[in-house]
Structure 1
Amino acid sequence: MNRRRLDIRSILANPNLRRELMVPTIQSTQAREGIETTHEQAERAYYVVTEGERAVFFDLEPFRAIKSQPERRHEMFVRSLLGDPASPYQNVARRDFGFIEGSLLAYRNIAWLAPLAKELPPLAPSYGVTRSGLNTTEIDRFTRQRWEVIVAAERRTWVPFAKGGDFSRFYTDWDLVIDWKNDGKVYKSVVAEKYGSASRFVKSECDYFRSGVTWMQTTNLGINARVLPSSGIFGVASPAFFPIDETLLMPFLALMNSTLFDALAHCVATRNWGATAIGSIPVPRMSAASKAALADMANRIHDCKATWDAGNEVSSRFRVPWILHSNVIENDISIAGRLEILADLECKEERSIQSVYARLNDEVFEFYGISDATRKVIEQGLGERPPEIVWPQQVGKSLQQKRMEHVWRLLSYSVKRVVEADDDGIVPFNAVNGEARLVERVRQELSMLFPDRDANQVEVEIANELSKVVKGYRKCASLDDWLDNVFFEYHAGLYKNRPIFWHIATAQGTSRFAFGALVHYHRFDKNRMAKLRASHLRDAIEEFRREAGLADKAGRSDDRLEWQAKVEEAQALDRKLQLIQEGHHEGADGSERDYRILTPWKRPEERPKGWDPDLDDGVKVNIEPFEKAGVLRVGGKR
């Protein structure tokens, strides 16, 4: 007996299959009811039910008269009516607009999106779960920049907190931490007392401290998914996806950063991509080959950006600034030569990850079975997307600006090493209390950082770079000028207005100051405040008095007046520091003459008496008395 093999694939691919099946079914159904129906009537009924409710949209906006382009909307409309296949119209079934409940869909997306939504399973729960995280309240009380507090890995007191952040696909360094002592006991109690229930804010707690993929819920730049570390928790501004299989983490990181996934996200929401919306996006089943390819590309881009971030001073991965990377720069290379190498390296790394990213997008479009013609429509509709870069903090900056940034980062690192190595964390700008000046210590650091170079030549090369006119960077005549007038303001900006090195000085702005010192916030307790006044500042005042006396004896009246002015300037600073040290206050609580540490969430009796800061209260609270007293040099404003 001959058996005929059926080609199921070709049968299912027949575009008229549904019609061929449904028309006789309509006839037989009507016949059972005693109604005779012709083939033509059944055909008409099929059309009305399945295809009759259609809509045509004309995309004429690109043909509007602008600048030198003539008005062509009327022409393209007529061409559409005449059936020109190249004309700008979309013919879609109205039923397809409701395939995802509550979605705001542009008509041009329906044609390619509806089949995906009908045929493919959604991201969640098919491949894992999407979750909305912690809804924060009293941010100043419970969150800090990582460097503000002492973070101990062995105890969950301050833990990494994923909460929005800057735009960056694949990788970001989470610089926020949240107070989660005793599993958030204090936070939960505050929320419960204030709002009646902690559960309104503490969402998805069972998924805290779990690896996943997270993204910014609200942004105009598109989806940017990043790795969520298992060491922390995520906020409502950073929803997360947790795959059912850990091996899917990197493949989905790749998928969720693709152009196509971004286009899909724009179809299910406008610019607010919550857990539910992203969870509804259709995703095909991954083959082993697709999974491996996507994971490899995600890892390559992630690791490249993470490696570059090791040169970022405020990153948890920081080792040394880029200009000192010995694995790519020889020790005897000049400053200018190093900057050229870094520019070339950055371009090379960006070309590499952009090439990988382009292949990733090819893989995803192929993975979804999207044709080249449809891909073009999708990409045009999505518009220009942010490029893949290794240094997100410098996006949009010119080559000259990046060059200067490298120099400033080198000097910032040198100051960091000096302050952190100091016995008491107080480094004077003057030669007082038997200590060398800050600039001399920085010069010594530079000689150690460039052991194969002449120290004087290195400083000359740095000064040459500092003297250049670059937008956004203050021109400086020398290393002293940069330390006196740039460092603190730059440091405060780099550390997101939560500086850990404070420049206390007798004069503000960029005017010359008689006395100045850098203090390490983490070590500047009540004892070191006393030492700053009793040793460093008092020694400077005595030095100024001696010089004034010598000038008076020598009959140098101008010099005597200058030294006497320094005495008075330093004494004025000492009086201001005394107000902070004693916690002096006048008038209403929190007034400009209130120099106490006013921790808002502590009762008055719990607040420190005088200068006795609690690091857990954060820089914002503890720096305020110094800002009110006007003793910080230029920067440090909140």
Structure 2
Amino acid sequence: MFNSSYEELRSGIVSVSGIQSLVQIGFNSFPTLNSKIALAAAFVVHKRLSDKYLAKFFNCNDVSPAADKELIFREKLDGGQFFLKAGADFYDLPGSPISYWVGDEVRKVFRDSKLLGRVAPAKQGLSTSDNEKFVRLWHEVSIDNVDFDRRSSSEEWTSGCRWVPYNKGGLVRRWYGNNEFLVDWKNNGETIKGLAPKSVVRNEGYYFKESITWSDITIDSAFRLQDGGFVFANSAHSAFCNEGENPYVILGLLNSPVVEFFIGALSQSLHFDVGYYNVLPYPSGCVSDDLVGAVCELVEISRNDWNSREISWSFRGLPIVSIAGEGSICEAFERQVVNGRELKLRNLSLEDVVAKCAYEAYGLHPEDQLCNPRFVVEDIDRKQVADRLCSYIIGCAMGRFSLDEYGLIYAHNSGVGFDPSRYIKFPADVDGIIPITDEPWFEDDVAERVREFVKVVWGDNNLVENMEWLADSLGRKSGEPADEAIRRYLSTSFYKDHLQTYKKRPIYWLFSREPLIYSTKPGHSVSPRRLR
């Protein structure tokens, strides 16, 4: 019904014969196969029908994927719930998809508008042929070996760095984010280019330019602003504005419910590639400045949210620590919750502005079924805040972060370039080894460092109250003292959370001693040896 590969077949059915009726079954088309993914449609064609003939179309794909589709069809048939559409109407949309639910106003937009691809063409990117060899999460390499400042593929390679930021797509996220990967691009990708034709370097002239990006596989529409300085992967489709075009206008339109409806009319698969993007309509009328202002603010909200997590290379500090003052962790947490609620309300208000402006730009009238606002800011969860606080404290103790400076302080190995003078308020461990024990054997073990950090940030007067709050937040057992609850979390659960946060690419290595065995990393044992 939608796949571009079958455009000729669809045109032939509509022009040579004609659709008499069609049932879009969608998910759960073959229940005996126990498949909720396979999509199907059943249709009847008649070779003597005119393309003006009003065929009946039944949508059984607007219910739960697990629903009994035969029962749904019978209910719609008996209730007269169907669409009437002539075959000639399908020519209005590029590729002639069988989008029977699209009304006349939207079809007119497609007929009369210029193509988005002529304003901000989308491009496919790099296929390395071996991601395991050439791609890394950014925290896996020394930060000094990453070139964050490159802005053109034609620049002479003078930095000496091996790695550059790599836009690889990622999970559904709107407006900004998913900056996680690096690619080996030393000497302008000399090694990767040497693997051609296995590797494919597409559209190199667009590398390192600012773009609008989205992931190839996505359930919900989610477009993001991508800063300059990235090579983009083939799975991270990217659009580049022509000179004089405002990327915030295009980003706002793409994330609006109007364009989401257009996308659904062109394709209902899990893939939305550059071919579909380039034939989206671009409004011929003026776009309100209110849309640009709303999008700018939404991008900043999303950027700040992304950078509030230590997995971001632009991380500056933990929110609950940044808003700490005289008082307790509980008070700081409550302020964070209030700030989060206000930000979500602002997020919703801005999304409404974007939707309204997009409707006006395309000359369409809002319809309730098209509105689907999404929040950028995640809900504030007490357990999650406590987990992140412990992770940040250990990061400060290891020298990765500091209470004296913002951002990433040390991300190298072997102690090269480590400067203890950058950690005055809360000294970092000089040798980078912190004992994790289930009993208080050492004065500087991880539990004691947590207590020390809480005292430094929130003061000595509320120390008992703060440790009680932290213990409760981490999941204290009934009757368990606060210190024991915190120590239990640190000795049994912290490293599991760390592996999950850093996607099984830890920045701290756990050495655990069982009888005669030291473990250098999860799942890997080595012969007994003395650690020096």
| TM band (smaller chain) | 0.7 to 0.9
CA contact (8 A) 2:93 2:111 kept: no
Counterpart code for 1:122: L
- 1:102 corresponds to 2:95: yes
Q: 1:75 to 1:203 in 2, by over 3 A?
A: same
Q: 1:103 to 1:322 in 2, by over 3 A?
A: farther
Q: Which has the higher contact order (CA 8 A, sep 6+)?
A: 2
Match in the other structure for 2:236: 238
Match in the other structure for 1:480: 487
CA contact (8 A) 1:96 1:110 kept: no
Match in the other structure for 1:450: 458
TM-superposed deviation, 1:176? 0.9
Q: 1:100 to 1:501 in 2, by over 3 A?
A: same
Match in the other structure for 1:314: 311
- 1:116 corresponds to 2:100: no
Match in the other structure for 1:177: 182
**Aligned match for 1:438, one of 443, 446, 451:** 446
Match in the other structure for 1:54: 53
Match in the other structure for 2:423: none
Moved more, 359-368 or 53-62: 53-62
CA contact (8 A) 2:171 2:178 kept: no
CA contact (8 A) 1:92 1:110 kept: no
Give me the whole-angstrom Cα distance separating, in 2, the residues matched to 1:229 and 1:370: 32
Give me the whole-angstrom Cα distance separating, in 2, the residues matched to 1:60 and 1:210: 42
Give TM-score, length-normalised by structure 2.
0.73
Q: 1:52 to 1:205 in 2, by over 3 A?
A: closer
CA contact (8 A) 1:322 1:406 kept: no
TM-superposed deviation, 1:301? 0.9
CA contact (8 A) 2:290 2:353 kept: no
TM-superposed deviation, 1:172? 0.8
Match in the other structure for 1:157: 162
TM-superposed deviation, 1:320? 2.0
Give me the whole-angstrom Cα distance separating, in 1, the residues matched to 2:483 and 2:124: 48
Match in the other structure for 1:148: 140
Match in the other structure for 1:389: 376
Give TM-score, length-normalised by structure 1.
0.61
2:509 partner SS = strand
Once the two structures are superposed, what CA deviation does each residue of 1:29-85 show, in whole Å capped at 9, x if it has no partner? xxxxxxxxxxxxxxxxxxxxxx9623232547589999x9998646643xxxxxxxx
CA RMSD after TM alignment: 3.3
Counterpart code for 1:260: V
Counterpart code for 2:253: L
TM-superposed deviation, 1:276? 1.5
CA contact (8 A) 1:332 1:452 kept: no
- Count of matched residue pairs: 428
Q: Any stretches of 5+ residues in structure 2 without a counterpart?
A: 1-49, 150-158, 400-427
Q: Any stretches of 5+ residues in structure 1 without a counterpart?
A: 1-50, 78-87, 508-568, 581-622, 632-638
1:439 partner SS = helix
Structure richer in strand, relative to its length: 2
2:114 partner SS = coil
Give me the whole-angstrom Cα distance separating, in 2, the residues matched to 1:286 and 1:365: 11
TM-superposed deviation, 1:265? 1.2
Structure richer in helix, relative to its length: 1
Match in the other structure for 2:224: 226
Moved more, 305-314 or 55-64: 55-64
Give me the whole-angstrom Cα distance separating, in 1, the residues matched to 2:355 and 2:527: 54
TM-superposed deviation, 1:410? 0.8
**Aligned match for 1:323, one of 320, 323, 326:** 320
Counterpart code for 2:91: G
TM-superposed deviation, 1:129? 1.5
Q: 1:103 to 1:415 in 2, by over 3 A?
A: farther
TM-superposed deviation, 1:332? 2.5
Match in the other structure for 2:402: none
- 1:490 corresponds to 2:482: no
Give me the whole-angstrom Cα distance separating, in 2, the residues matched to 1:223 and 1:60: 21
CA contact (8 A) 2:76 2:82 kept: no
CA contact (8 A) 1:346 1:390 kept: yes
**What does residue range 367-516 of structure 1 map to in structure 2 within 5 Å?**
367-372=361-366, 375-376=367-368, 379=370, 385=372, 387-391=374-378, 402-420=381-399, 421-429=428-436, 436-451=444-459, 453-468=461-476, 477-507=484-514
- 1:206 corresponds to 2:205: yes
Counterpart code for 2:356: D
Match in the other structure for 2:419: none
1:177 partner SS = strand
Match in the other structure for 1:297: 294
**Aligned match for 1:347, one of 341, 349, 352:** 341
Q: 1:180 to 1:246 in 2, by over 3 A?
A: farther
CA contact (8 A) 2:164 2:229 kept: yes
TM-superposed deviation, 1:99? 3.5
Counterpart code for 1:389: V
TM-superposed deviation, 1:453? 4.3
TM-superposed deviation, 1:477? 4.6
Give me the whole-angstrom Cα distance separating, in 2, the residues matched to 1:60 and 1:491: 45
Give me the whole-angstrom Cα distance separating, in 2, the residues matched to 1:630 and 1:363: 66
Counterpart code for 1:410: L
Give me the whole-angstrom Cα distance separating, in 1, the residues matched to 2:134 and 2:84: 53
